[in-house]
Amino acid sequence: MTDAVVDYDEALQTYDPVMGLEVHVELNTKTKMFCGCSTVFGAEPNSQVCPVCLGLPGALPVVNASAVESAIRLGLALHGSIADWSRFARKNYFYPDMPKNFQTSQYDEPIVYDGYLDVEVPTESGDGTEVFRVEIERAHMEEDTGKSLHVGGATGRIQGAEYSLVDYNRAGIPLIEIVTKPIVGAGSRAPQIARAYVAALRDLLKALDISDVKMEQGSVRCDANVSLRPVGTDKFGTRTETKNVNSLRSIERAVRYEISRQAAVLDAGGTITQETRHWHEDTGITTAGRPKSDADDYRYFPEPDLVPVAPAPALVEKLDETLPEPPAQRRKRLQSDWGYSDLEMRDVINAGAVDLIEQTVAAGASPAGARKWWTGELARRANAEGKTVEDFGVTPAYVAELDGLVKGGRLNDSMARQVLEGVIAGEGAPTAVADARGLELVQDDGALEAAVDKVIAANPDVAEKVRGGKLNAAGALIGQVMKELKGQADAAKARELILAKLT
């Protein structure tokens, strides 16, 4: 059954949305949170397990120091406070994927508290951007669960399945959960802010190099809490929690949908049930999951198998020195270095090409050339083939080389595209491809002049037009010259020559 929804803009006339975002991040540590097992993604099921992460009787956890360092670095990058003493707790509940039937997590004593992340969003009027500050309540460490595979049913869900298999490779992978304070004042931009926040967080995690940030593999997952309150009131409404949304676009859509759905319920005089909801990517709706109630008693208590986490101030200080330049600041610096317009820079960011362009420029390309290739031809092809630009095997050094060939006058644009074609096909570096394919602009002025003379002679009408001042008509002659020289002519030079002869 599909729920009723109210038009989004209409909903915002009556209600003011309040959001809370919980982002789970899988860390890229080499070993798991509490044991020495490998964390490599996609291994043979149950090949990366030991008595500890299988929760075998008697096994004990030991905290992964590198995961703690990742959490501290993230906390510092989020302008948060680092607890000088924090603790793990047990969250007790039954779950077939969870070997101990409790999750070891930080409950009321997280390692990071009180931070913020500034995100850039369009202004309300839409004619520019402004900074919106999302306050962070806390960031805490915990372990991931295993994964079930339900076999024999039509849906892949447990209902109707003949049997279920469990893979514990993921059980015990370190997670950080970042929880915002209630986000108020977002108004109609709530969905955009949610998206921008997760995007900014993702960029930060990437810059810190503490996660693979592969949302499609579930290494970053967002739970979105949304509630509505009548415009002008202060009291928070009842919230729903949409679980495990794992793409930026889905986060925006899911928040937007929940606002429309909840508004419909409230408009009809109903009340919102506090519950978890599932996001459906295909239909763009959420459906009710488990109701949250007092029965959700996790019986938290301090994990007696682990000593408290008490990072030394010297360690925190040392980690502070390892923080990268904040992504937003870095982008501003690069934009100014490269001389890109705001629009050009946004294209580059959307194409995820900032790092590639930086490396390409570093390899000797012009910023304009680097941008042209990465956000143009390569991005277009990747998009069309459903790949990422990295999949093509085209390196920043190759693009810089290609740019050099164009700038140096050896190739024109269409020839350069052919060379790129060859690079993607695995024929080697751009120069080698150009050599092998015999691609080179005709540098011999005599041959060009001869071709120009021939074309003028063959097209007296066009030549007359140009003589008469219709300079645009020269284009047709240039085309003929290119044809004459099998495309290997410098179009600018040909135009120069034609105009010189006719005017």
Partner 1 sequence: MTDYTRMTAADIAAALAAGETTSVEVTQAHLDRIAEVDGDVHAFLQVDAEGALATARAVDEARAAGQELGPLAGVPIAVKDVLATEGLTTTAGSKILEGWVPPYDATVVAKLRAAGMPILGKTNMDEFAMGSSTEHSAYGPTHNPWDLDRIPGGSGGGSSAAVAAFEAPLAIGTDTGGSIRQPAAVTGTVGTKPTYGGVSRYGLIALASSLDQAGPCTRSVLDAALLHEVIGGHDVMDSTSIDAPVPPVVEAARKADVKGLKIGVIKEISGEGFQPGVKQLFDESVQLLVDRGAEVVEISCPSFEKGLAAYYLILPSEASSNLAKFDGMRYGLRVGPEGVASPSAEQVMAATRDAGFGDEVKRRIILGTYALSAGYYDAYYGQAQKVRTLIARDFAAAYEKVDVLVTPTAPTTAFKLGEKLDDPMAMYLNDVATIPANLAGVPGMSIPNGLASEDGLPSGFQILAPATKDERLYQVGAALEAALQEKWGGPILAQAPELAGKADAR
Q: Which residue stretch of 32-40, 232-240, 278-286, 400-408 sits at the interface with Zn ion (rule: CB under 5 A)?
A: 32-40
Question: Does 63 participate in binding partner 1 (rule CB under 8 A)?
Answer: yes
Longest distance between any two alpha carbons in the chain, whole Å = 96
Q: Least Å distance between CB 14 and partner 1?
A: 35
Residue 490 three-state SS: coil
The reply on whether position 53 binds Zn ion by CB under 5 A is yes
Judged by beta carbon, residue 50 or residue 429, the one nearer Zn ion is: 50
55 binds, among Zn ion, partner 1, none (CB under 5 to 8 A by kind): partner 1
**Which of Zn ion, partner 1, none does residue 100 bind (CB under 5 to 8 Å by kind)?**
partner 1
CB of 146 to partner 1, least distance (A): 10
Which one of the spans 11-19, 253-261, 295-303, 340-348 is the region binding partner 1 (CB under 8 A)? Answer: 295-303
b/e 418-456 (16+ beta carbons within 10 angstroms → b): ebbebbbeeeebbbebbeeeebebbeeeeebeebbeebb
Stretch that binds partner 1, among 176-184, 291-299, 356-364, 431-439 (CB under 8 A): 291-299
Strand-strand pairing, 15-26 and 174-180: antiparallel
Contact between 50 and Zn ion per CB under 5 A = yes
Of the candidates 243, 247, 253, 319, the one whose C-alpha atom is nearest the C-alpha of residue 287 is: 243
Token pair recorded at residue 274: 């506090």
161-187: b (≥16 Cβ within 10 Å) or e? beeeebbbbbbbbbbbbbbbeebeebe
Give me 264's structure tokens.
Answer: 């419909």
Spatial contact of 258 and 241, defined as CB atoms under 8 Å apart? no
Q: Which does 438 bind (CB under 5 to 8 A by kind): partner 1, Zn ion, none?
A: none
Rounded Cα–Cα distance for residues 17 and 229 (Å)? 7
d(CA 280, CA 34): 33
What's the rounded Cα separation, in Å, for the pair 421 and 403? 14
304 to 323, contacts with partner 1 by CB under 8 A?
Answer: 304-307
| Contact partner, 304, from partner 1, Zn ion, none, Cβ < 5-8 Å per class | partner 1
Q: Among 60-68, 233-241, 405-413, 482-490, which window interacts with partner 1 (CB under 8 A)?
A: 60-68
44 binding partner (options Zn ion, partner 1, none; Cβ < 5 to 8 Å by kind):
none
Q: Quick one: what does residue 378 bind among partner 1, Zn ion, none, with the CB cut-off 5 to 8 Å set by partner type?
A: none
Query: From residue 402, how far is each of 248, 293, 360 by CA, in Å?
Result: 33, 62, 10
Distance of CA 466 to CAs 219, 448, 477, 501, Å?
63, 19, 10, 10
- Overall size of the chain counted in residues: 503
Backbone angles phi, psi at 260, to 5 degrees: -65, -40
Q: Can you count the helices (H) and strands (E) in the chain?
A: 17, 14
Binds 207, which of partner 1, Zn ion, none (CB < 5 to 8 A, cut-off by type)? Answer: none
Task: Pick the closer one to partner 1 by CB: 63 or 452.
Answer: 63
Residues 6+ apart with CB under 8 A from 203: 327
| Cβ closest to Zn ion, residue 11 vs residue 37 | 37
Rounded-to-integer distance, Cα 127 and Cα 119, Å:
17
Residue 37 interacts, among Zn ion, partner 1, none and using kind-specific CB cut-offs from 5 to 8 Å, with Zn ion
Which is nearer to partner 1, 216 or 297 (by Cβ)? 297
Binding mask 3-42 for partner 1 (x = CB under 8 A): ----------------------------------------
Site for partner 1 in 68-127 (CB under 8 A): 90, 92, 94, 96, 99-102
Residue 58 contacts partner 1 per CB under 8 A: yes
Taking the alpha carbons of 42, 44, 45, 47 in that order, is the dihedral positive or negative? negative
Which 125-164 residues touch partner 1, going by CB under 8 A?
A: none
| Interacting partner of 288 out of partner 1, Zn ion, none (Cβ under 5 to 8 A depending on kind) | none
| In the complex, minimum distance from the CB of residue 50 to partner 1, in angstroms, rounded to a whole number | 8
Among 4, 43, 56, 450, binds partner 1 (CB under 8 A): 56
Q: Decide: helix, strand or coil at residue 471.
A: helix
Contact residues toward Zn ion (CB under 5 A) are: 35, 37, 50, 52-53
Contact residues toward partner 1 (CB under 8 A) are: 51, 54-63, 90, 92, 94, 96, 99-102, 166, 294, 297, 299-301, 304-307
